[in-house]
Amino acid sequence: MFLSCQENIEYFRKRLNDNIDVLSKVLNKGNKSIAIIYIKSIINDQLLTDMILLPLTKNINEISVDYIKKNIITTASIEKIENSETADDEIIAGMLAGKVALFVDGEDSCILIDIEEVPIRMPTEPPTSAVLYGPRVGFTENAKKNISMLRKRLPTDKLVLKEFEIGKYTKTMVVLCYLKDIIKPEIVKDISKKLQNINIDGVIDTHYILSFLQKGQTSFFKQAGIAEKPDIVSAKMLEGRAAIIVEGSPVVLTIPFMIFEDIQNSNDYYTNPIYTSFIRIIRIMGILAAVISPGLYLSFRLFHHNILPLRFLITISNSTEGLPFTPFIELIFILILFQILYEVSLRLPRYLGLATSIVGALILGQTGVNAGLISPPGVIIIAMSIISIYIVPDETAQLTILRAIFLIIGGTIGILGIIGGMIYIINELATMQNYGTPYLTPYAPRTVKDLKDGVFMQPIYKMTTRPKSLIDKNEVKIKNERND
């Protein structure tokens, strides 16, 4: 920092590579000058005029940094930077964060005024967490807005927000949120330590952080909950979990994570518990259908036709007669075809989506069957499996891989291999602990109290305690009894 405004302008412009959006202005006040430097693309023009330029153009009794800070610029987001070894870096960081730097001739200090404005979208309902009834608002890419949404839902002094700056170049704001009365202190300690130890060039999205938080660097299974709505995150925090908000991402992580969380859905708590229980059973069946149905179908066709009912066997035989491929190749072919169509439909513009559906469903599917290249049962099984995967959208990646594995096992070893594979996977999940919480809780190990929010869900008034596997204090969450 220099004593002269002009030198400061030159120095800081140079530090910011003389970029086109780095602007400066000098206001002459008698024998002294006031200089402001800012990055135009990330500040609010209106605020710059109203809060800074207009007050500075008026008559000022005393031209000094302290006087301007106290009497002229009346905003809470203002801070004074004294000259020090790190002052220049602090000023640069401030300007990059949407602050205006103000210098006065002859003074080796400056003030930073926050008038940041970045383009943000309005909160909308996230596509993966749509509900029939219940809150629809979702997080946005702006961390501050996300925090405000969370604060609105948890207006308590027990809410703790710990900020971390991660990324050598991106300097991304990462916020660890939790309720200090509920959460296990070890979890906070563990997560904080891991966040502090992250040394990375840039954090573009929450998933960059996720890979550093999971135990075992090559873990196949998800180790953090993913939420895009404040109601879900606040409910999870009330159960004793921590949330991690990352600037630039509408996805918030919740930790610890148990696999059963993916069977639950926010809609479950806004409808009848009996219906919810039924739907949860359907979801589990959907997962099984998604993962093992192609493998199972293949194993029945290749190895165990003797245990199929005769009529069913005849129907399959008739429809698969004359196919040029073996059942194994046929299913692999259909699966790859569907997967390609899925990937294409994700990336195509919406107006082309219809064309893809026509090409996929009619031309490839129908014509393939008519041409005798693929069989109708094969198409049905794979289509059912592909659709079923989206019953648990957060586990799509894992289920897709598992389906392919079970398809290969079913086609090479048969049903014994499928059962062995299921046992192996469950055993793998049973070994996993997520920040001290067993991954298969509340079923293995069984935690009776937590079963109230299990497959057979109890009414909310009966869920009097927080999940026992998550907390070790402040267990009770509903104290009053229902008066019937």
Partner 1 sequence: MKEMISTRQTAFFCSIMLFASKLIILPSLLFKANGYGAILCLGFIFLTELLILYFFIKLKEKYNNNSLKEILSMYINKFFIKVVFIILFIFFIIKLDYVLQENFHYLKLALYDKATILVYLICIIPVINALVYKGLKAFGRSLEVFYYVIISGIVICSAIWISSLANFGFNIYENNGLIGFFNGVYNYSFWFCDFIFLFIIIDKIKIENNYGRKLMRYSIFSASVCFFIFFSFYYVYQSVSFFQSSALYDLIQFASRIGYVGKLDILALYPIMFIMFFQCAMFLYCSKECYKVILNTKNEVQPLFFINILAILLYYFFIQNPDNLLTYSTSLFNHLGVIVEYLLPLLLFIFFVFNKNKEQNLVYKKKIIKNYKI
* Segment interacting with partner 1, rule: CB under 8 A, options 42-50, 207-215, 303-311, 374-382: 303-311
CB–CB of 89/52 below 8 Å? no
Is the Cβ of residue 323 or residue 415 nearer to partner 1 in the bound state? 415
**Nearest CA-CA partner of 260 in 287, 233, 240, 237:** 287
User: Which helix (H) or strand (E) element contains residue 163?
Assistant: strand 159-166
For partner 1, the closer of residues 67 and 312 by Cβ is 312
- Nearer to partner 1 (CB atom), residue 161 or residue 416: 416
Residue 46 dihedral angles phi and psi, to the nearest 5°: -60, -45
443 lines the binding site for partner 1 (CB under 8 A): yes
Could you give the CA distance from residue 76 to residue 78 in angstroms, rounded to a whole number?
A: 6
Q: Does 328 bind partner 1 (CB under 8 A)?
A: no
Is 3 within 8 Å of 109 (Cβ atoms)? no
Q: Which is nearer to partner 1, 325 or 443 (CB)?
A: 443
Considering the complex, what minimum distance in angstroms separates the CB of residue 450 from partner 1?
A: 14
Query: Tokens 């402001």 label which residue?
Result: 36
413 interacts with partner 1 by CB under 8 A: yes
C-alpha distances out from residue 306 to 146, 302, 310, 314, 320, Å: 58, 10, 8, 12, 17
Which one of residues 309, 321, 371, 481 is an interface residue with partner 1 (CB under 8 A)? 309
Nearest approach in angstroms of CB 392 to partner 1 is 17
Q: Does 304 engage in binding with partner 1 (CB under 8 A)?
A: yes
Contact with partner 1 (CB under 8 A): which of 444, 459, 462, 478? 444
- Tell me, rounded to whole angstroms, the distance of Cα 366 from its chain centroid: 38
β-sheet bridge partners, residue 26: 35
Shorter beta-carbon distance to partner 1: residue 105 or 262 = 262
- Part of the chain binding partner 1 (CB under 8 A), chosen from 178-186, 196-204, 368-376, 437-445: 437-445
198 near partner 1 (CB under 8 A): no
Residue 469 CB, nearest approach to partner 1 (Å)? 13
Among residues 420, 459, 460, 461, which is the contact residue for partner 1, using CB under 8 A? Answer: 420
**Closest separation between CB of residue 177 and partner 1, Å?**
31
**Cβ closer to partner 1: 19 or 433?**
433
* Residue closer to partner 1 (CB basis): 20 or 307: 307
Contact 87, 108 (CB under 8 A): no
Is the Cβ of residue 189 or residue 304 nearer to partner 1 in the bound state?
304
* 303 touching partner 1, by CB under 8 A: yes
Cis amide linkage into residue 442, ω under 30° from 0? yes
C-alpha 175: how far from its chain's center? Answer: 13
Judged by CB, which is closer to partner 1: 353, or 436? 436
Burial of 189 (0-12, 13-18, 19+ CB in 10 A): exposed
Is residue 3 a contact point for partner 1 (CB under 8 A)? no
Strand partners, 22: 39
Q: Give all strands (DSSP E) within 171-265, no chain letters.
A: 172-179, 225-227, 242-246, 252-255
CA 159, 162, 163, 166 dihedral sign is negative
| Joined tokens for residue 403 | 């389906």
Q: Does 442 bind partner 1 (CB under 8 A)?
A: no
CB of 123 to partner 1, least distance (A): 39
The CA distances from residue 15 to 11, 36, 94, 187, in Å, are 6, 15, 13, 41
Nearer to partner 1, 312 or 461 (CB): 312
- The 252-291 contact track toward partner 1, x by CB under 8 A, reads ----------------------------------------
At residue 134, what are phi and psi to the nearest 5 degrees? 110, 175
Q: Please answer whether residues 25 and 53 qualify as being in contact, where contact means their C-beta atoms are separated by less than 8 angstroms.
A: yes
CA distance 382 to 293: 8
Q: Which CB, 278 or 443, lies closer to partner 1? A: 443
**Number of residues counted as binding partner 1 (CB under 8 A):** 30
Q: Is 419 in the site for partner 1 (CB under 8 A)?
A: yes
344 scored as a contact of partner 1 (CB under 8 A): no
Q: Which stretch binds partner 1 (CB under 8 A): 35-43, 81-89, 345-353, 416-424?
A: 416-424
H/E element holding 150? helix 143-153
Q: Is 428 an interacting residue with respect to partner 1 (CB under 8 A)?
A: yes
Q: Rounded distance, CA 53 to CA 36, Å? A: 9
Say whether residue 307 binds partner 1 (CB under 8 A): yes
Applying CB under 8 A, the residues found at the interface with partner 1 are 303-304, 306-310, 312, 413-417, 419-424, 426-428, 430-431, 438, 440, 443-446
